[in-house]
Structure formats: C-alpha cells, structure tokens
Structure 1
Amino acid sequence: MSFNAGENIGPYRIIEQLGQGGMATVYKAYHAALDRYVAIKVLHPAFNEDNTFEMRFQREARVVARLKHPHIVPVYDYAEHEKRPYLVMKYIEGDTLKARMAKGPLSSDDIRKVVDAVGSALAYAHRQGILHRDIKPSNVLVASDGQMYLADFGLARIAQSGESTLSSDMIMGTPQYISPEQAMGKKDLDAGTDIYSFGVMLYEMVVGQVPFSADTPFSIIHDHIYSPLPLPHTVNPNVPEPVERVLLKALAKDRADRYEDVTTMVEAFKDAWEEAGIPMQGTMVQLRKDRTGSGAKATQVAQPQAEPTKMAVKSEPTKMAAKVDVAAPAPAVKKKRSPWVWVGTGLVIVLCLAFLGVARNNRLFARLIAASNRPDATATVFLPSPTPRPIQPQPLPTFTPPPAGPALPLDVLDIQKRANENPNDIDLQLDLAVAYWNANLPDAAYQTIDRIIKLAGTENEPFYIKAGERFASQGKGWLPAAVMYFQAVKRYGLVGAPDELRDAFQEAYYKGAERPETPGILPFASIGQVNQPIALIAQSRHAFYAGRLDEARTLLNQVKQLKPNMYEASLLEAEYFAAEGEPEKAGLLTRILTSDLSVPRWIRIYAEEIQKRLPQ
C-alpha cells in the first residue's frame, strides 16, 4: 500500500510524495510535536519477503542513526506502519548534485565543495565501519543555502545480509557508479568500493561524462569489471595530466591499486589541481550517438548531458525534493514494462489447433500434432500487428474422454469415474485434468482442459486463475497453467490485465516454453502478432531446450534489439550463460535481477535459483 497525503503515520502527517526509487518511496511529512517538516523514506514491500528483515532493519537503523556529521543527512527516527518499515530523516529544501550537473559545468567552487563535503562524510563513516555502497550524484543533496549532504547512508546496508531474493550482497543503484568488486557480488567489501564510486563522480565532474555507458546494465557492469578505463584526456583534452593520474588510481580495477582511504584521495585530487595551475572547472562533453559502449571519442557540446542509462533495474524519477535517492531516467532509454494488455489476438483458436484427437488402436487419447512438424517451431520473426484486435469467441471442438482402463493409476480412475458421472462440474473436470497431468498423460490433460474451457465460458476469471494456480503448483505444470491464465488474460482485450494476473501468465508461458508441444498449444506466431518480444522470448527458450542453440541465440538477440532492457531477456540470457559454462556472466545478470525490486518477484526468485546453481 502507499501512504496518502493527509494520512497520519505515527506522529507524522504525510504532506506529499517526493519521489520513488528502486528500494523506497519518499514522502514529505509534518511532525507537529517538534513543529518541523521531515522526510519519510518507506522501504519497498518486497523486503517483507525476508522473515529476518524486521530484526535487521531495527539493528541497522540504529547504526545509521548514530552517524553525526555536518554533511550526512541525519536519521531522526525509524518505525513501521502496517508492516511497512520506514526511516524519518531531516527534510532538506534544495536540489540534487545530479540536477545541478545537468544544468551545465560546475564551477571551481562547486567542485571543491563537492569534494570536501562528500570526502569528509565518507571518511567519517568509514571510520565508524560503515560503507555507503551507492555513491552517485543523485545521492548528494544541495540545500538552498549551499550546504551539501550525502543521503541514504546505510540504506543499501539495511537491505543486505538477509535470506530473501534481495540478499545478493549487492543492492545495485546505478551501474555507471558501481565498483568492480561490488558488481561481482564479492562479500568482503571495504572502503575501496566507495572510493571507486566517488572516483566515478570525480571523473564525471571533470571529464563531462561517466567512464562507462551502454544500452544495457550488463554491458555497463561488464565494462567496469573488464574494460580499460577510457583515458580522461582522450575524451576531454582539457583534463590536466596530474588530475588524470588521480582518476586512474581511484578507478583502478584492483582494490589494492586504489587509494588506501578517501582522505588520501581527496588530498591527491586537490594537489593535482594545484600542480596543474588551473582552477577546478568542470567541463561538459557528450558521446556520439553511434557509440553504445565505452571509451568512444567525444564531441564538445554546450548543452548538459543527462545521467546515463539506469539499470534494467528500475529508473528513478527526476524530481527529488532534497533527500530522495532517486535519479532521473535516461531520455534515450525509457524503461517501460512490457504490457500484456495486447496478448490475445488470434489466440482464441489456440486450443482448437492443439488437438486432432481421434482414439485408435486402443490408445487412451489422441496424440497432439508434433511440435517439430508445426511451422511455429521455426526461427521465423513475427511482425506485430499494427492494431491489436479484440479477441472474439470461437467454437471449440468436442473430444471424448479417455476410456478408463487398467493402464490408469487407481487415483486417476477414481477421479475419472466421478468426472464422467458429473460432466458439467468444472471443479471435478479440473481435478481430472490435474490428475492426468500428474500421471504423465499430457494429451489427456489438454483434452480435458479443452472441455473445461467450454464449460467455464469466457467470463469466469476467478476459476481460470484458480485453475492456473493449481497447475503451476504441480512443479512442471507451467504450460497448462499458461493456457488457463490466458483464458483470464484475454478477456481484458485492450483494457489490460491486472499486473498480478499478467505476471502469472508471463511466468507460466516463459517456463512452459521448454516443453516440446508448446508451439501447438500456445503458438508463437499468434502471440507474435500482438507482442513480438514475448513471443521471441518463448520461442528462443523453446529452441534452446530442443537443442537448437544457434537459433535460440539468434532469437534472443532479436529480443535485445527490440527491447534492450527487458527483464525476461536478461533472465533467459543468464540461463544460457549458465548452461554454456560462463558463470561470471550468468552471475552478473542474476545479481542485477535479484537486486532490483521493480523486477517481478517470480523473475527475482528464478534468477536466484540460477545463481545458486553456479559454481562458487
């Protein structure tokens, strides 16, 4: 649930929402007892998935609240409201450093203030044994009087060390500022990770852009770990050589090659400017549009550059009234969830095409068309329909139930007998379909599902959701679950299914795509007419499990071109890397997915399962 304006949260009255990020939502509130405004940061409900979180939250909040420094946003209080933990902090009227940098190059005085404020705040916290882990311009607040504050100290610390899908020891913010060791998920982090992130900020202020930027978070993080740092003077010829030396040392890949502590780095940075004999004046450059990686030649421009791509993890809003850790999303890479509202066109005849059922030679049920014989199983790229059409009801063929016989298990025989005696009871028919599935009789299950759909009609959403959940709970019943969920999804037509229903269908279709009969049950071509990326994802996974690895990769690459930051594409690529013996690449992708609370829960859970199977 969200907090609403005018609502009382303990002794605080909510005034307005200030911003929302990947880990929390921030509100302005009024504390009547002390007659002052405060900022309330409400943590994402996904943290409640971890049953140890409440205890960790209280422990870590106490630690963070003890930080007393003129350049650290103070924490006044912490509590919980309707199972939503929150922190109460000083409300700072002002702007973020990110917003200031977007307006143009920083002055000498501004750069000096940033270096002094952030440097002293980090040095103090490190002496207390506390790391920040998410240093970036949007976490540096500039008050109306010019005072600078480092925000969100300890938020990443609070979010870590649990047992849920968030416990990857790396709650990532913006990949452009992450250290190599944090990106690799190393647990023994020290001050070096903040030194690296602070070094990226210095690089950005001096050179005019972050060192690594690309279309996908995976590419950015990969560059932080493996790619040489673009030499500052090659990007911006105005960077003095002494300053370049400081940046190279601060951004060394190996922790041992960086500065020992923040204070030493700050002193070296200031000495370098004095040695160069020029004022600390920021510059602003921008990469050419044809560059998607790092280290490109830059062109001097007058206008400011927006902060680079946010990770496939949730972009943070631009407005941040003083203490919000959220950053503006890149204008060129606007992240938008793949809507399932269009899924449905042409799929009303899906189950009609799935069966040719005629019983013969004493077989219990008619065999489905072999998936390999269907044209849908090829690597055809399906173009989306210009205008998705509402789904129209279609008549379904009639099938005869498989006859009872000694080949059926006794429990199936019993359910079959009761279902035959009550042919219009959809709950009994569902029991029979599930029993067939669990007895490894998929064709019989599909035939029974077809009868169920005829009985349930087109408006029985609660039943179809219940039926989907029944099949999904059977472990490998994802494809029949997808069929059932689809019956509920398609009734929404152009209006759009609820997020929870859409995610349930998407999970079932993704996981069910590994079965050989998938093209005959939920044809890729039909889904591709209304949602090409999802169709390609399922088709790619189907090809992979069928052993057509080149085709699978080709289809996945097409998805990445269509929608670079698609969560399902990252999950699928992690599966491929893991299977292909590239655990480091697989681990990077799974950590990105598990650390982003905007990623659907099923994807985070599945990514963590992949991560656990990787060699340690």
Structure 2
Amino acid sequence: MSTHRVLAGRYEVGEVIGFGGTADVHLGRDLGSGRPVAIKVLRRDLARDPLFHSRFRREAKSVAGLNHRAIVEIYDTGYEEVEGGSARQVRVPFIVMEHIAGRSLRDVLRSRRLTLDVTIHVQAEILSALDFSHRAGVIHRDIKPANVMITPEGAVKVVDFGIARASGDPAATLTHAQVFLGTPSYLSSEQARGETADVRSDLYSAGCLLYELFTGRPPFVGDDPVCVAYQHVHEEPLRVSDYDPDLTPAVDAVLVKALAKAREDRFQDARTFADALRSAGRGLGQDMPMTLAMSTQTGTAALAC
C-alpha cells in the first residue's frame, strides 16, 4: 500500500474503497496477520458530534456479536487521535472488519437483471441474515442493494449496520436533525412517518429490495425523498406480474404481504418471509439450491448448482 498511516500500531490504511454520509471505508492490512481488512472511519467533522460518535460505536458493538455467514464480520475497533483545531485533539473511531471482495448488489443490478433462481437465492440469504440479527435483538434499518455484497465465490453478505439499533430502542426513528436515517426508496411506512422501527420494518425494506430484484426498480420512485416517503405511506405499487407475466400470483402475494402498509399485516419474521418466497419459487420451477458466482474481472454472474 502507498500510505504509511497505521491505526492502533497494527492496521495499515490504504485507499478509499467506499464512502457514505457519515464514514469512509478504506482497504487495509492487518500487519500482525497480513490479511486484508476493511477499515471504516467516521468522518472527522462528525467525530465531534456525540450522537454520531455513539451511533458509530453502536454499529461495532451490534455487529461484533453477529456470527453468521451472510453478515460482515467485525475484527476490532479503536480510536485515532487527530488534530481538531485550536490545539485540540479529536478521537475519531474506526471499525476493522472483514474485507469483502466482489461487488455490491446495487452494482450488479446496474449491469444486469438476475435470473429467478438467483433472485430467490440472494433474497433467502438476506432474510437468513436478518433472521439471525433479529433473534439477537438487532434491527438493521437500512436494507438496500448497496448494503448487500456478492463475493466472487457467490456468497451474499449484508453490510453497513451503521444505523442499526437494538429492538425496542425508543430512538429508532427515521430522522435526526431533519436528516433521513435510511434510504427513502426502501423505507417502511412507519419509518417514513418517523415512528419507531422494528423487525417488520426491516422486512418491508427487504420486500422493497425483492421487488427491485424482480422488476429492476424499487416499488416507489420520485424526484425527492419526501415524495417517495409519501408513496410508502399512501400508495400501492404495481404488481410484479405486471412487469413480468411469467411471475405467478403466488409471487405477487409474497410482495403484497411484504409491502403491506400496516406492519401487523406483513410477515412477522424473516423465516416466514423466506419460506413463503421459496414456496412461490417452487411454483416457478425454482426448487434447486443455487449459488451466484461473480467474475471480478468482467462483472458477470454465473450459476453453479
């Protein structure tokens, strides 16, 4: 790596490989083991804000205990002391995590539509990750294609628990200082209203993601976040069979339930959602377990039984 920046005397920091509204993710190397890692560092301007600081630390604490094949693994956490102006030092937190080679599901969808069997496989893995995190009391709150990675071997990994909260947390609402927490295209109706999120909110977001896997677009789109949020609360999306006549009424029924406005009308847990999807898939002749293998050179996808 071309940089000499080292965190905690152990983690060499390389180039930025991802960024968001609150943090940057760097490619890194564990000097002790030699393995590649991803290092997520809170933006310096936000490190002074106690709320963002605590939210970032909560991500590390929430995910560190989630040992599941489809959830990114956390290795270590720490702070970097940086100059904060006026001769003050600012403690900037960082998270060292599993480096996931491959591409985000968002990037995959930009280049191609997935086949039905791959769609069901990817969604089932996402729901398996959510089932595990929900049973551990952790709500993700930002399920979307950009937060799902596909490795070159075809593994599915849910990442970025940056706004996750423990279930029942009264602060698990949509906004902070009038800023959306979550992505409008995948927000549940209760999050759009600023109400407390629960596991069924994650399942609604997963339903939005599944809708996009089937149709190539989220259920609701608009020119601004408020317009999209309004649709989540007040409007119904087109049936997926309107986009693809090969999709059966059973598939429509899965999406209708997943995207119900009232959370009590949705799937109540991720396992039930996954079972319903697999049952609908069998009606399409998709009853063989499949994996998705990604080519890191060409960005293409291939199926392997």
TM-score per shorter chain, which class?
A: 0.7 to 0.9
Residue 76 of structure 1 is matched in structure 2 by 75
Residue 199 of structure 1 is matched in structure 2 by 207
Deviation track 1:295-353 (CA, whole Å, cap 9, x = no partner) reads xxxxxxxxxxxxxxxxxxxxxxxxxxxxxxxxxxxxxxxxxxxxxxxxxxxxxxxxxxx
CA contact (8 A) 1:168 1:185 kept: no
The answer to whether structure 1 residue 14 and structure 2 residue 22 are counterparts is no
Distance (whole Å) between structure 1 residues aligned to residue 219 and residue 55 of structure 2: 35
Distance (whole Å) between structure 2 residues aligned to residue 255 and residue 8 of structure 1: 46
**Structure-2 change in CA distance of 1:272 and 1:127 (3 Å):** same
Residue 367 of structure 1 is matched in structure 2 by none
**Structure-2 change in CA distance of 1:25 and 1:220 (3 Å):** same
From 169, 182, 188, give the equivalent of 1:173: 182
CA contact (8 A) 2:71 2:129 kept: yes
The answer to whether structure 1 residue 127 and structure 2 residue 135 are counterparts is yes
Secondary structure of 2:12 counterpart: strand
Distance (whole Å) between structure 1 residues aligned to residue 178 and residue 156 of structure 2: 29
Q: CA RMSD in A?
A: 2.5
Residue 192 of structure 2 is matched in structure 1 by 183
CA contact (8 A) 1:69 1:124 kept: yes
Q: How does 1:16-35 map to 2 (within 5 A)?
A: 16-35=15-34
Residue 218 of structure 1 is matched in structure 2 by 226
CA contact (8 A) 1:246 1:268 kept: yes
**Structure-2 change in CA distance of 1:272 and 1:168 (3 Å):** farther
Q: How does 1:301-316 map to 2 (within 5 A)?
A: none
Distance (whole Å) between structure 1 residues aligned to residue 226 and residue 285 of structure 2: 39
**Structure-2 change in CA distance of 1:31 and 1:271 (3 Å):** same
Residue 156 of structure 1 is matched in structure 2 by 163
Distance (whole Å) between structure 2 residues aligned to residue 56 and residue 97 of structure 1: 25
1:227 Cα deviation from its structure 2 partner: 1.2
Distance (whole Å) between structure 2 residues aligned to residue 249 and residue 57 of structure 1: 33
Distance (whole Å) between structure 2 residues aligned to residue 96 and residue 121 of structure 1: 16
Distance (whole Å) between structure 1 residues aligned to residue 253 and residue 165 of structure 2: 35
The answer to whether structure 1 residue 37 and structure 2 residue 45 are counterparts is no
Q: How does 1:89-488 map to 2 (within 5 A)?
A: 89-153=97-161, 155-157=162-164, 167=176, 172-187=181-196, 189-277=197-285
Residue 294 of structure 2 is matched in structure 1 by none
Deviation track 1:564-604 (CA, whole Å, cap 9, x = no partner) reads xxxxxxxxxxxxxxxxxxxxxxxxxxxxxxxxxxxxxxxxx
Distance (whole Å) between structure 2 residues aligned to residue 204 and residue 225 of structure 1: 18
1:40 Cα deviation from its structure 2 partner: 0.6
**Structure-2 change in CA distance of 1:249 and 1:192 (3 Å):** same
Deviation track 1:350-396 (CA, whole Å, cap 9, x = no partner) reads xxxxxxxxxxxxxxxxxxxxxxxxxxxxxxxxxxxxxxxxxxxxxxx
Amino acid at match of 1:27: H
1:229 Cα deviation from its structure 2 partner: 2.2
1:56 Cα deviation from its structure 2 partner: 5.8
**Structure-2 change in CA distance of 1:221 and 1:16 (3 Å):** same
CA contact (8 A) 1:79 1:86 kept: yes
TM-score normalised by structure 1 residue count: 0.42
**Structure-2 change in CA distance of 1:249 and 1:277 (3 Å):** same
CA contact (8 A) 2:248 2:283 kept: no
Deviation track 1:119-152 (CA, whole Å, cap 9, x = no partner) reads 1110000000001111011111111111111111
Secondary structure of 2:160 counterpart: coil
Distance (whole Å) between structure 2 residues aligned to residue 45 and residue 102 of structure 1: 32
CA contact (8 A) 1:207 1:239 kept: no
CA contact (8 A) 2:44 2:92 kept: yes
Distance (whole Å) between structure 2 residues aligned to residue 210 and residue 227 of structure 1: 13
Percentage of identical aligned residues: 36
1:53 Cα deviation from its structure 2 partner: 5.3
CA contact (8 A) 1:111 1:205 kept: yes
Residue 567 of structure 1 is matched in structure 2 by none
Deviation track 1:234-273 (CA, whole Å, cap 9, x = no partner) reads 3433331110011000000110110111110111011012
TM-score normalised by structure 2 residue count: 0.81
**Unaligned residue ranges in structure 2 (runs of 5+):** 82-90, 289-305
**Structure-2 change in CA distance of 1:17 and 1:5 (3 Å):** farther
Q: Which has the higher strand share?
A: 2
Amino acid at match of 2:189: P
Secondary structure of 1:87 counterpart: strand
Amino acid at match of 2:186: Y
Higher relative contact order, structure no. (Cα contacts within 8 Å, ≥ 6 residues apart): 2
CA contact (8 A) 1:156 1:171 kept: no
1:179 Cα deviation from its structure 2 partner: 0.9
**Structure-2 change in CA distance of 1:66 and 1:169 (3 Å):** farther
Q: How does 1:486-497 map to 2 (within 5 A)?
A: none
Amino acid at match of 1:146: G
Deviation track 1:206-255 (CA, whole Å, cap 9, x = no partner) reads 12221111111111111111112222223433331110011000000110
**Structure-2 change in CA distance of 1:111 and 1:150 (3 Å):** same
